[in-house]
Amino acid sequence: MLDKFITPVIKPLLTPVVMLMHKRGITADQLTVVGFLVGLLAVPLLAFEMWYGALVAITLNRILDGLDGALARYANQSSSAGGFLDITLDFLFYAAIPLGFILANPEQNAIAGSLLLATFIGTGSSFLAFAIAAEKFKLEKPQFKYKSFYYLNGLTEGTETIALFIAFCIWPQHFAVMASIFAIACGITIFTRIHGGYHTLKQQEAGANKAAENVPSSASSEVIND
């Protein structure tokens, strides 16, 4: 929900760092992989209840995640392969953080953490499934034109998720409550994405079928006139 407002603010701040990285020969895909590995360090840190160490790892992961896309665009390295790598590792990172809290305190966090992971699967699958269909119909990306594929909006997006992870690290004793509330918000996102995505694609299919029906009709008319 907040991504479309936060991204334009952050983007200019990354430019000087991106220019320096480009001069050093660093590629966007390298940043993506390094950022993912740094983010995974949060899991053992969380498991051993090193909350602020995990917070640093999560923050660095998000900074590198912002830099990789900016670097790809600056260096004209944007590609479907890079976009695929980025979003895949992002979703793996998102799933890893609740797992870390579950490992830290299974008795208190297992149910809420599992519920959050289940809804993460729902938000992720609805997001990616629509992106595939959007590519088929060549739908425009008005809010995220620089992305490799279509970004379907929702109540819980990247900005909200990272804010949640930060809150988890600052107030780990309230993980179960915050995770449960966010899981409900993810459920709303899943419903709106399925509902909106389904009807959008139905309209696209109806338009495509109507256009296809008109083609033979026109061809037949030309034959008769000849």
**What pTM does this model have?**
0.81
> Which one of 65, 68, 86, 90 is the catalytic residue?
90
Most confident among 71-75, 99-103, 146-150 (mean pLDDT): 99-103
* CB-count burial class (<10 Å; 0-12, 13-18, 19+) for 39: buried
- pLDDT tens for each residue of 45-63: 999 999 999 999 999 999 9
- The pLDDT, as a whole number, for residue 64 is 94
Active site residue 29: no
Closest Cα partner for 119 from 190, 197, 195?
190
Q: Which residues of 56-95 are buried (b: 16+ CB within 10 A; e: fewer)?
A: ebbbbbbbbbbbbbbbbebbeebeeebbebbbebbbebbe
- 150-200: pLDDT as tens digits: 445 667 787 899 999 999 999 999 999 999 999 999 999 999 889 888 888
How far is Cα 42 from Cα 51, in angstroms, rounded to an integer? 9
